[in-house]
Amino acid sequence: MTTERTRADAKKLILFSTKALQRLGVPEEDAQITARMLVTSDLRGVDSHGVAHLNMFYARRIRLGIINLNPKSKVFSQAPSTATMDGDQGLGFVIGHHAMMEAIHRAEKTGAGFVSVRNNTHFGAGANYAMMALERDMIGMAMTNTWAAVVAP
């Protein structure tokens, strides 16, 4: 059994994925965030969280109404370094992106930023969010919970 791989231009794949998401009703900016993260996963070799799953996983959940395309996410904060965000069942990539940006902004002010998220949907590969901190010369961490699907390393 051989596995054939085809090369695709990353920019074209982002554009394709963005347009596909927009056709499903995802706002343009949210579609771009999601498409970039899917393609980034592919470029890092994490095919399990890349564009190959755009239709069967994300588009399917959008069509089923599991994902709220117009969430009213809110940030609840009790301290300068910490916050909790309610994602209102929005597209996980977008909520995760906004949560990480919130953590980064808090870290810029206080030296550390932590944001927990509730009421979110699948947010893809956690490394995408952790790597956002690198652009600001910070260390990032991203974690999620799920049902017991794999053995812990």
Task: Check residue 2 and give its pLDDT.
Answer: 59
Task: Check residue 14 and give its pLDDT.
Answer: 98
DSSP the chain: ---------HHHHHHHHHHHHHHTT--HHHHHHHHHHHHHHHHTT-GGGSGGGIIIIIIHHHHTT-SBSS---EEEEEETTEEEEEEEEE-HHHHHHHHHHHHHHHHHHHS--EEEEEEE-----THHHHHHGGGGT----------S-S---
Task: Answer yes or no: are the C-beta atoms of 30 and 17 closer than 8 Å.
Answer: no
Task: Check residue 121 and give its pLDDT.
Answer: 93
Cα separations (Å) of 47 from 3, 51, 99, 118, 153? 13, 8, 24, 26, 19
Instruction: Map out the domains of the chain with their CATH numbers.
Output: 10-136 (1.10.1530.10)
First to last CA, the chain: 29
**How do beta strands 82-90 and 114-120 pair?**
parallel
Task: Check residue 16 and give its pLDDT.
Answer: 97
Please report, in tens digits, the pLDDT of each residue of the chain (153 residues total). Answer: 557 777 889 999 999 999 999 999 999 999 999 999 999 999 999 988 999 999 989 999 999 999 999 999 999 887 999 999 999 999 999 999 999 999 999 999 999 999 999 999 999 999 999 999 999 999 999 988 777 776 766
Task: Check residue 17 and give its pLDDT.
Answer: 97
Nearest to 53 by CA among 93, 88, 3: 93
Task: Check residue 146 and give its pLDDT.
Answer: 73
Instruction: Provide the whole-model pTM.
Output: 0.89
